[in-house]
Amino acid sequence: MNYKKYFTFSGKTIVYIQTVALIGSIIGAFLVPWTFSWVLIALLFFYLYSAVGVSMMLHRYFSHKSFEFKNPILKWIFIAISVISSRGSPIAWVHIHREHHAYPDTDRDPHKPGKFSLFSFKTTYIKELKIFLIKDVLTKEQKFIHEYYLLFILLWCISLLLINPLLFYFGWLLPVCINQIVQDLWNYFSHVNVGYRNFETKDNSRNVIWLWPLILGEAWHNNHHNSPMYSTKTRIWELDPVDFLVRRVKL
Ligand SMILES: [Zn+2]
Ligand SMILES: [Zn+2]
């Protein structure tokens, strides 16, 4: 079977998506009204993409398979949110993330420890396909999502545009652009010596308090490397809203 087609498409399209989001956000910033309600809407969409789409679904559901939904309809609604969060194909995301967990803080780590750059598109590419990392996610459903995820994102954007062009800006362009920056910050700062450790893991993962307002429970990254479950919480004050949400929808 030619598995290659399940990842080559992703690297290029995520670059297109992020470039559109970045340029669109900058140009749009001079054209849109910066009212309190529109900023609030942008914030809500940002957390929808970042916390639900990426953290809960791409990370804890798809990559770590740390929970299963009790309701199949709900499962597909959340899968749709993971696709419109515009981080590329879930299969590719899982590959990159599992590579990170398999070779953390080494040359083989796709997040390149110690090298920070905003819009680091290179980290979205898979250099060498390792089928053993993603075999379990190459299901019929996932292959279908992989083939058509860009179409779903386009349909989502068109729907927002038709409702209100400002909703397209504050509901997709801006939050997707900010989410890219936040993901870059997370990938870098959760593995440098700026936070604290609850566990002596073999990697350099850290819990970074100041990242919490941006990525919520994912800030407790050392806890996560120690035990990649649906919750990242270890100490009582290490709040993890995604854990709260997962507990309400899981089996
Ligand atoms: Zn890590
Ligand atoms: Zn993980």
Give the pLDDT of the chain (251 residues) as one tens digit per residue: 556 565 555 666 778 888 899 999 999 999 999 999 999 999 999 999 999 999 999 999 999 999 999 999 999 999 999 999 999 889 989 999 999 999 999 988 888 766 666 666 555 667 788 889 999 999 999 989 988 888 999 999 999 999 999 999 999 999 999 999 999 899 889 999 889 999 999 999 999 999 999 999 999 999 999 999 999 999 999 999 999 999 999 99
> What pLDDT is stored for residue 130 in this prediction?
87
- Residue 62 alpha carbon to ligand 2 centre in Å: 10
- Residue 188 alpha carbon to ligand 1 centre in Å: 9
- Residue 26 alpha carbon to ligand 2 centre in Å: 31
Give the distance, in angstroms, between the CA of residue 17 and the centroid of all CA atoms in the same chain: 14
- Residue 95 alpha carbon to ligand 2 centre in Å: 11
- Residue 165 alpha carbon to ligand 2 centre in Å: 35
Ligand closest to the CA atom of residue 64: 2
Most distant CA atoms of the chain, gap in Å: 52
The residue behind tokens 């803080």 is 105
- Residue 144 alpha carbon to ligand 1 centre in Å: 28
Helix axes 72-84, 140-163, angle to 10 degrees: 70
- Residue 180 alpha carbon to ligand 2 centre in Å: 17
Ligand closest to the CA atom of residue 228: 2
Burial 223-249 (b: 16+ CB within 10 A, else e): bbbbebebbbbbeeebebebbebbeeb
The pTM of the full predicted model, rounded to 2 decimals, is 0.94
> What pLDDT is stored for residue 245 in this prediction?
97
> What pLDDT is stored for residue 14 in this prediction?
79
- Residue 74 alpha carbon to ligand 1 centre in Å: 28
- Residue 190 alpha carbon to ligand 1 centre in Å: 7
- Residue 114 alpha carbon to ligand 2 centre in Å: 19
> What pLDDT is stored for residue 7 in this prediction?
58
- Residue 31 alpha carbon to ligand 1 centre in Å: 38
- Residue 247 alpha carbon to ligand 1 centre in Å: 23
> What pLDDT is stored for residue 46 in this prediction?
98
- Residue 55 alpha carbon to ligand 1 centre in Å: 13
- The answer for 155, left when phi > 0, alpha when psi is -120 to 50, beta otherwise, is alpha
Phi, psi dihedral angles at 139 (to 5 degrees): -90, 170
Between CA 70 and CA 114 the distance in angstroms is: 40
- Residue 97 alpha carbon to ligand 1 centre in Å: 8
